[in-house]
Amino acid sequence: MTTVTLAKSQDVAFARQAAMKAMGEIGASAVKRTKFVTAVSEIARNAVNYGRGGRITFEIVGLGANRRVIAQCSDRGPGIEDVDLALSDGYSTGKSLGLGLGGAKRLVDRFDITSSSSTGTIVTLECGQR
């Protein structure tokens, strides 16, 4: 398991590198690597810029052709009031959120999110080899 602390903007680059390395270790296709790294980048950037920092962990699970990477990002922010709205294509906070949560969700095989004012936001991304 690899953990990257997300406290400043350059930590997003470290999260991207860790995602790329993990996807390379499972033998993911170039397309899958790019999609996963892009999703991780968006989630990590949101944690740094809007979630008061946090951390992201990467774990490789499964065997053979069923190997996959699970990334879990947790932040210390105030939570997201309306998760369904934040996942929609038309969501805007008036700030530049880049691809955002909805875009990240479309790039991975599995996407889970929990968010509350007491625990912050936890996003889990999962992606396989193909």
Q: What percent of the chain has pLDDT over 70?
A: 89
**Contact (CB, 8 A) for 128 and 64:** no
Q: For the chain, what is the mean pLDDT? A: 89
| pLDDT score, position 117 | 87
What does the pLDDT look like over 64-93, one tens digit per residue? 989 999 999 999 988 877 777 767 655 555
Q: Is residue 97 scored above 70 in pLDDT?
A: no
What distance in Å separates the CA atoms of residue 114 and residue 130, rounded to the nearest whole number?
26
Burial class (CB in 10 A: 0-12, 13-18, 19+), 34: middle
Q: Any idea what DSSP says for residue 101? A: H
What does the pLDDT look like over 1-23, one tens digit per residue? 899 999 999 999 999 999 999 99
Q: C-alpha 60: how far from its chain's center?
A: 15
Q: Which of 20-34, 58-72, 75-89, 116-130 has the lowest mean pLDDT?
A: 75-89
Query: What is the set of domains in the chain, with CATH numbers?
Result: 2-128 (3.30.565.10)
Positive or negative: CA dihedral 31, 34, 84, 111: positive
Q: Name the pTM for this structure.
A: 0.87
Greater model confidence, 27 or 96: 27
| pLDDT score, position 92 | 53
